[in-house]
Amino acid sequence: MTAEAGTGQGETPMVAFILAPSIDVLGGSVVRLRNGDPAQATVYGRDPAAMARRWAREGADVLHIVDLDGALSGSAAQAAVTAEIVRAGLESGVPSEVAGGLRDEASVARALATGAARVVLGTALLADPTLAARLVAGHGSARVVAALDVREGRAVGDGWRPGATSEPLDRAIARLVDAGITNLEVTSISRDGTMAGPDLDLLARVRRLAPSSRLLASAGVRSARDVAMVRDAGCDGVILGRALYEGAFTLAEARSALGG
């Protein structure tokens, strides 16, 4: 791991730019979806904890763990598997953030109790305007991340299904920042799992709307050069998925593209 500090339970690394491999779990397997569609799932492994140890060995700063069953069902369906991944990361010296199916304060508390450094919520923060402030008050802003999954200028929840809960992006960001959220993760839904390149315009827009927030980008990254472009768009880190699993580049190559 490249971080020099902040690697214990409840802490995320204070590095110049965070590289966060995503471990997306569906039915107990590590998968990547295309545009969030479970019918377009590619399986990359049957042992999520082993995948966590692999990314730790290769230089991950944070493990981004997604319970896809939970995201689709609305409850943390893979909680036991998620906890196992978190433990594997901690044993390797790498903290984790957990997403998927976290809809209320109780599910957030359970996720953090596994040793996760922080939790990532999207749907619940869109549906309940008061939840963000309550979570920040209860756990601190460093441990609560707002996921902004964006389609056609709107932040979208509910697993991105047709008719999903949504809100104009600028309004969602303003509300979350006012509630004390300091960490944002932005996904361009149309580019998720496509290796079509990051949506740099979207990332730059979010940076303008939230100039003081810590911002991680997700979706579309296809090369180490893209990682550097995401950094240059104003982001503080990147969540890496299909391109990393497909061997398009390594974490070491991404680090090198960033200048060390």
Residues assigned a catalytic role: 24, 149
Token representation of residue 39: 């019918």
Q: How far apart are CA 206 and CA 257, in angstroms?
A: 23
- Residues in CB range of 54: below 8 A, 6 or more apart: none
